[in-house]
Amino acid sequence: MTPLEASKRAREICMLAPIVPVLVVEDGATAQPLAEALVAGGLPALEVTLRTPAALDAIAAMAKVPGGVVGAGTLVTPEDVKNAKAAGATFGVSPGATDKLIAACEAEGLPLLAGAATASEAMRLLERGYDMLKFFPAEASGGAPALKAIGAPLPQISFCPTGGVSPQNAQSYLDLPNVLCAGGSWVAPAAMVNAGNWSGIEALARDAATLKA
């Protein structure tokens, strides 16, 4: 997969809904009903972070949910990329970007939403052909004002800000012309997941899906 193809596909995924749920799945048994609730609520693009032993099983289960587009987050190594693709991930998300990680994604045909927090990092990725990026950590890096400032000289790059994005500040990001969507974890609170409150999660997803990008 070429950088152009990867960026085009990543852009298409980011345009599916204003919010991409960022999910930390502790129990693989919750994966399918969680994905069903989020998709039913209007959030089809799902990022499962590779932070728990259950993550790859969760990706495999979510990949079977009709209407869902499941990706793997926290990709750090080429092995992460191979494991995510084998589990059924159709896109990848990384907190940053390294040459080895990018090469692995290209070799596996996995569209990558690579992370950047500065103009220099964004320019390096643009130089490689990537113009759809993750802005991370969003709030710690200056929030919407910082991303607006980066967008002024680099209007050809679009972003998905993640990290500290909440119902209170999400719209401030989505109002920016260089933002297509935002990543958020609030749509799947651990307490609701543990309780199996899928209707509550679907309601949170519906509210998030009404935000305007």
**Other CB atoms closer than 10 Å to residue 193's CB: what's the count?**
22
CA atoms within 13 A on the CB side of 172: 16
What does the DSSP assignment read for 38-64? HHHTT--EEEEETTSTTHHHHHHHHTT
Asked if residues 156 and 126 have their Cβ atoms less than 8 Å apart, the reply is yes
CA distance 154 to 29: 43
Indicate if 47 belongs to the active site: yes
CA 3 to chain centre: 18
Identify the active-site residue in 36, 47, 106, 202: 47
Which positions are annotated as active-site residues?
Answer: 47, 134
